[in-house]
Structure 1
Amino acid sequence: MDDEQAPPETRGVTVELLDRVDLGPEIEGMEGRELRMRKVTIEPGGVLGPIHDHVDRPGTVYVLQGTVTDHRDGVATDYGPGVGWPEDRNTLHWLENRGTVPVVEISVDVVRSG
C-alpha cells in the first residue's frame, strides 16, 4: 500500500485485554486513569487504522511474532519480533501486516478509566 493513500479502516485485528491497573489509588493525580495491557493480533493483510494519535494515551508496543508495518509521517517502518516502539503525544500513525503470518504484539498504555 502506498503511504500517499488514505489508510483503510481496521480489519483482521483481534484485541485481548490481558490486565489493567487503576492508577488512582496508586499514584497521586492519576484518578480516572488506568494502566492497560493488551495482546493485539493482526492477521496477514490486516490493518489497525484508520490513522490515529496517542494524545492523552501514551504507551509502548512490543512485537512477539511477525512483522508489523508502522505508517507515520509518510514513512513506513517494519518492526519484527523482539522490537518495540513508544507511542507518545506526537505519534500519529496506522499499522498493517504485509506479511504471511499473524503479527502478535503486546500493547501497554495509560488510558482514561471506563
Structure 2
Amino acid sequence: MTQKLIPGRLPLAVAATLGLFATATTPALAGECPADQVSADAMAPGAKTPEGVTDEVLASIDLSPKGGDWKGNALRLRKLVVQPGGVVPWHAHDARPANILILEGTITEYRSSCKVPIEHKAGEVTAEFGELAHWWKNNGENPAVLYSADILPPMAHDADAM
C-alpha cells in the first residue's frame, strides 16, 4: 500500500509510531546490542561533525507553560535524511531523551554501550535515553529517512542537538 504524503501532514505510520493515536499494533523494536556485547564505554566516540545529513524541524512545542522542571524545554519532531555514507555525529542522550523511527532505508548505530555496531532497518523504532552516547552512519546504498521526537533541554540550540 502506498501512502500519499500531504504537505504539513505526517504519514499514518509515523503518527502511529510516535503515539499520536492508539492502534492495535505495536511497531517493531529496533535492532539491539547482543547481550554478550553490552559493556560500559564499549565504543569510543566516533565522527564529530555531520556529513551528508539534512535535519528538518517539522514541529516544536515550548513546554515552559507547564512550569516547574519543564521551563525552557521543548518537544520537537524532526525529519533526518542521511545519504549513503552520511553521518549523524557523536552525541549523548543523558539530558535529551528521544524516540527514533527508521522510515526508509537502513542505518548503523555505533553505541557507547555496545562493542559491535547495531543495524537498524525501516519500520523499527529505538529509544534513546540515559547514559547513552552514539553516532550513526548510513552504510547502505539508499538514503535513510528517520523521524526523531525528542525533548530539547534548556539552553540547547536546535543546531547543537542532532
TM-score, normalised to structure 1, is 0.87
State the secondary structure of the residue aligned to 1:29. Answer: helix
1:66 CA displacement = 0.4
1:4 CA displacement = 6.9
Q: Which residue of 1 aligns with 2:88?
A: 48
Q: Any conservation in 1 of the 2:108–2:139 contact (CA below 8 Å)?
A: yes
| In 1, Cα distance between equivalents of 2:70 and 2:116 | 34
Q: Which has the higher contact order (CA 8 A, sep 6+)?
A: 1
Q: In the comparison of the two structures, how many residue pairs are matched?
A: 111
| In 1, Cα distance between equivalents of 2:57 and 2:138 | 21
Q: Which residue of 2 aligns with 1:58?
A: 97
Same amino acid, percent of matched pairs: 33
| In 1, Cα distance between equivalents of 2:43 and 2:74 | 35
Moved more, 5-14 or 57-66: 5-14
TM-score, normalised to structure 2, is 0.63
* Distance 1:105-1:27 versus aligned 2 partners, 3 A rule: farther
2, 21, 27: which one aligns with 2:61: 21
Larger Rg, first or second structure (1 or 2): 2
Structure with greater helix share of residues: 2
1:43 CA displacement = 0.2
Segments ≥4 residues shifted beyond 4 Å: 3-6
Q: Which residue of 1 aligns with 2:106?
A: 67
Q: How large is the Cα RMSD of the aligned pairs?
A: 2.0
Gaps of 5+ in 1: none
State the secondary structure of the residue aligned to 2:150. Answer: strand
| In 2, Cα distance between equivalents of 1:110 and 1:4 | 25
| In 1, Cα distance between equivalents of 2:44 and 2:60 | 35
| In 2, Cα distance between equivalents of 1:27 and 1:102 | 40
| Residues 15-56 of structure 1, C-alpha deviations (whole Å, 9 max, x = no match) | 00100111122465301101011000100011111x221111
| Residues 43-95 of structure 1, C-alpha deviations (whole Å, 9 max, x = no match) | 0011111x221111111100000001011132211111110101102211100
Structure with greater strand share of residues: 1
* Distance 1:84-1:27 versus aligned 2 partners, 3 A rule: farther
